[in-house]
């Protein structure tokens, strides 16, 4: 750890061996303190969130990943669904009609084997017609790669057509763990790590921004976690297109890996802190409250994270895997969580531009007893 | 109050001071609870407890002791005194109150410490967050309990209330014992069992070790045994 501190002070990127040392550091508070220093150098005491809506148009999926609780193989299975375009648009319309100033819709789906490409382009175009200023963050790299194969289009052309329909950026899902050993066992039918990275590379070359993730807590080793993070860092060195890294905790309920224990909170905070220290070229680390739980996510604001994601509304993927968090958090509640952590809430848009800060939420919560 | 925590009242200094006061050993054991419908939890549990809030419906403390309980989780000091007089292990719930200032918390804990020094028997305190209490406030209260109550042997995590995630973090902030639904075997988290908070003995040990503590199990006869597997 002393040499790691010196490297951090000198702005030298940490090595693979350093990454291993971070994950093997038994003193969580020491690791957290180090990550918090970097976090505060980058972002001070600010913690961001946005007003977003999750829409999952279908859970029919050909991938059959062992880690997944959301997908269904056939329309006959209990719980299988595919939203009509009107149903999908209706979810946004309901939010707008309620006066909600939602700035982002986040769209991810199963890998459907027969919906036409027009369904996806029209889906995005319809959201834009409802709210022209809306930012659409849609389709993980896994879905983009599926479209490439299914519709026999180059990845670039898939992205170009989606951008023409209203796509603004890509979410970071589907990265799981890049190591082939793990991928072969938990998600053998998804695109591989190189293909995932290449979709993001292409998106970045087109001027799109994207997010990146790592699913931890299944069968991966510490070496495979560090390798994953360094591969993300290498692509960021090349393109600079990632906005935020999101550690995603595996949830074992209702899937083929339900014999595994859920990652512990110490795992959650360790991954968050190690990512903050290793990913020196990615500006933001998100504590995704749906995945971590609200209380752990709040604590993560002192272990390297500077963002809590958003209001979310109707998250399905983690909730079917056992997440006990609410389906949505009101902006006032997110502000309360951030203030109670002794941080300053800042509402952002998808691209991390400031939407509101300071006295925008005067009476949401006090910070009595918060860390100093 | 520990000097380190007074001088540098930030989260990490507070946690570090509480850790230093805790030592390296973390405890767990199987628990069962006496309810009006009977015992809930494995018959082999070494900690057989009742909650003070259930005493009226259970027929009072003497009836609880007669039914085989060896532990009372109290919310008031008079009941705690009565329980220890009957030979029960006395644990005291301490509310974590949302919005309470650090000064108010420390005053409350100092008053309890004073009573312990005057002879009140408290084998452990169980920080119990109110509904609107968030993660960090809860963790810092655990640390303040450990630092302000040096004469109280244990600071316990109520796993049923906190869940394993926040519960484990509390172990890095001064808690040294897990209580709650710890079982020999847990069914897979499928269907109706999805969302179950029960954890196995092995998982309890993993939580303790993950927080940097040596896992020790309470076994029959009140002994402590290093958990090997």
CB A214 within 8 Å of CB A260: no
From the number of C-beta atoms within 10 Å of its C-beta (0-12, 13-18, 19+), residue A20 rates as middle
Distances (CA, A) of B87 to A140, B71, B81, B123, B190: 61, 9, 10, 12, 41
Closest CA to A174 of A219, A122, A111: A111
Beta bridge partners of B214: B25
Q: What is the pLDDT of residue A320?
A: 66
Quick check: is A45 in a domain? Answer: yes
With a cut of 50, say whether residue B2 has pLDDT above it.
no
Domain chopping of chain B, boundaries = 3-226
Among all residues of chain A, which has the CA nearest to that of B106?
A369
Q: What is the pLDDT of residue B6?
A: 34
pLDDT digits (tens, 9 = 90+) for B182-224: 877 666 656 666 566 678 888 899 999 989 899 999 988 878 9
Chain A nearest CA to B227, separation (Å)? 19
Q: Which tokens go with A137?
A: 């963050």
ipTM of this complex: 0.79
Q: Which tokens go with B91?
A: 């644990």
Q: Tokens 């700035």 belong to which residue?
A: A103
Q: Do A371 and B206 touch (CB under 8 A)?
A: no
- The boundaries of the domain holding residue A208 are 2-360
* For residues A37-63, average pLDDT: 94
Would an 8 Å CB–CB cutoff place A21 in contact with chain B? no
Supply the CATH number for residue A94's domain.
3.20.20.70
CB B172 within 8 Å of CB B211: yes
* Helix spans in chain B (H): 3-7, 11-22, 55-58, 61-66, 77-85, 102-117, 135-148, 159-171, 201-210
* For residues A155-173, average pLDDT: 98
What gap in Å lies between CA B1 and CA B108, rounded to an integer?
13
Beta bridge partners of A245: A212, A285
Chain B residues within 8 A of A258 when measuring between CB atoms? 188-190
User: Which helix (H) or strand (E) is A7 found in, with range?
Assistant: helix A2-10
What number of residues does chain B have? 229
Chain A residues within 8 A of B166 when measuring between CB atoms? 265, 293, 295-296
Best of B162, B169, B214 to mutate (most A CBs within 10 Å, chain A): B169
pLDDT digits (tens, 9 = 90+) for A186-242: 999 999 999 999 999 999 999 999 999 999 999 999 999 999 999 999 999 999 999
What gap in Å lies between CA B66 and CA B72, rounded to an integer?
13
Beta bridge partners of A248: A215
Would an 8 Å CB–CB cutoff place B107 in contact with chain A? no
pTM (two decimals):
0.87
Quick check: is A276 in a domain? Answer: yes
Residues B177-216 as b/e (b if ≥16 CB within 10 A, e otherwise) read: bbbbbbbeebeebeeeebeeebbebbbbbbbbbbbbbebb
Flag the least confident range among A213-217, A361-365, B9-13, B91-95. A361-365
**Residue A125 gets which letter from DSSP?**
H
With a cut of 90, say whether residue A258 has pLDDT above it.
no
User: Which helix (H) or strand (E) is A337 found in, with range?
Assistant: helix A331-340
How many domains does the structure of chain A reveal? 1
Would an 8 Å CB–CB cutoff place A333 in contact with chain B? no
What gap in Å lies between CA A178 and CA A198, rounded to an integer?
12
Would an 8 Å CB–CB cutoff place A79 in contact with chain B? no
Chain A nearest CA to B107, separation (Å)? 14
What gap in Å lies between CA A32 and CA A48, rounded to an integer?
19
Would an 8 Å CB–CB cutoff place B220 in contact with chain A? no
Chain A nearest CA to B136, separation (Å)? 6
* For residues B67-71, average pLDDT: 95
Beta bridge partners of B178: B157
Beta bridge partners of B92: B74, B125
Closest CA to B11 of A299, A24, A295, A288: A299
CB A203 within 8 Å of CB A240: no
How confident is residue A307, by pLDDT bands cut at 50, 70 and 90?
A: very high
Residue B74: partners with Cβ closer than 8 Å, 6 or more residues away: B52, B80, B83, B90, B91, B92, B93
CB A252 within 8 Å of CB A261: yes
User: Which helix (H) or strand (E) is A138 found in, with range?
Assistant: strand A135-138
With a cut of 60, say whether residue B8 has pLDDT above it.
no
Would an 8 Å CB–CB cutoff place B140 in contact with chain A? yes
Beta bridge partners of A306: none
Q: Which tokens go with B56?
A: 């009226």
The topology under which CATH files domain B3-226 is TIM Barrel (3.20.20)
What gap in Å lies between CA A301 and CA A308, rounded to an integer?
8
Closest CA to A140 of A171, A166, A113: A171
């Amino acid at each position: 750890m002393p040499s790691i501190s010196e490297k951090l002070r000198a702005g030298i990127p940490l090595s693979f061996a350093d990454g291993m040392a971070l994950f093997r550091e038994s003193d969580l508070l020491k690791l957290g303190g180090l990550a918090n220093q970097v976090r505060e150098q980058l972002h001070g005491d600010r913690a961001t969130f946005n007003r977003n809506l999750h829409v999952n148009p279908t859970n029919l999926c050909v991938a059959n990943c062992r880690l997944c609780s959301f997908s269904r193989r056939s329309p006959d299975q209990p719980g299988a669904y595919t939203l009509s375009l009107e149903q999908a648009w209706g979810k946004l319309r309901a939010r707008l009609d309620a006066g909600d100033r939602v700035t982002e819709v986040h769209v991810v789906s199963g890998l459907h084997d027969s919906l036409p490409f027009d369904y996806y382009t029209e889906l995005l175009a319809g959201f834009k017609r409802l709210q022209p200023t809306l930012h659409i963050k849609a389709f993980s790299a896994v879905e983009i790669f599926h479209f490439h194969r299914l519709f026999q289009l180059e990845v670039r052309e898939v992205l170009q057509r989606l951008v023409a329909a209203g796509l603004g950026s890509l979410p970071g899902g589907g990265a799981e763990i890049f190591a082939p050993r793990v991928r072969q066992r938990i998600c053998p039918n998804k695109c591989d790590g190189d293909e995932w990275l290449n979709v993001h590379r292409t998106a970045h070359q087109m001027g799109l921004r994207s997010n990146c993730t790592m699913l931890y807590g299944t069968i991966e080793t510490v070496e495979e976690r560090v390798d994953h993070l360094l591969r993300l860092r290498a692509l960021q060195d090349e393109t600079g297109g990632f906005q935020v890294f999101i550690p995603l905790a595996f949830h074992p309920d209702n899937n083929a890996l339900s014999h595994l224990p859920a990652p512990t909170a110490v795992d959650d905070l360790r991954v968050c802190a190690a990512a903050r220290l290793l990913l020196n070229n990615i500006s933001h680390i998100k504590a995704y409250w749906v995945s971590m739980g609200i209380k752990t996510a709040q604590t993560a604001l002192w272990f390297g994270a500077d963002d809590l994601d958003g209001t979310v509304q109707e998250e399905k993927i983690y909730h079917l895997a056992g997440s006990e968090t609410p389906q949505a958090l009101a902006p006032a509640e997110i502000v309360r969580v951030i203030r109670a952590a002794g941080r300053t809430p800042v509402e952002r848009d998808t691209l991390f531009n400031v939407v509101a800060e300071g006295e925008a939420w005067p009476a949401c919560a006090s910070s009595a007893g918060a860390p100093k | 109050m520990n000097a380190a925590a007074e001088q540098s009242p930030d989260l990490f200094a507070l946690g570090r001071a509480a850790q230093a006061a805790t030592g390296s050993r973390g405890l767990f054991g199987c628990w069962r609870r006496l309810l009006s419908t009977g015992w809930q939890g494995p018959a082999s549990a070494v900690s057989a407890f009742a909650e003070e809030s259930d005493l009226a419906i259970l027929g009072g403390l003497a009836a609880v002791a007669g039914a085989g309980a060896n532990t009372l989780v109290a919310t008031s000091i008079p009941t705690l005194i009565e329980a220890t007089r009957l030979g029960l292990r006395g644990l005291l719930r301490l509310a974590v109150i949302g919005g309470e200032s650090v000064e108010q918390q420390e005053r409350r804990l100092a008053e309890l410490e004073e009573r312990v020094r005057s002879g009140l028997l408290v084998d452990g305190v169980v920080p119990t967050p109110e509904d609107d209490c968030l993660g960090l406030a809860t963790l810092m209260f655990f640390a303040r309990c450990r630092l302000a109550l040096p004469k109280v042997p244990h600071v316990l995590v109520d796993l049923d209330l906190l869940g394993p995630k926040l519960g484990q973090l509390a172990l890095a902030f001064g808690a040294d014992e897990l209580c709650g639904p710890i079982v020999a075997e847990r069914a897979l988290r499928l269907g109706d069992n999805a969302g179950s908070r029960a954890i196995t003995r092995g998982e309890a040990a993993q939580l303790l070790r993950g927080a940097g503590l040596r896992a020790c199990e309470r076994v029959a006869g009140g002994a402590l045994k290093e958990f090997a597997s």
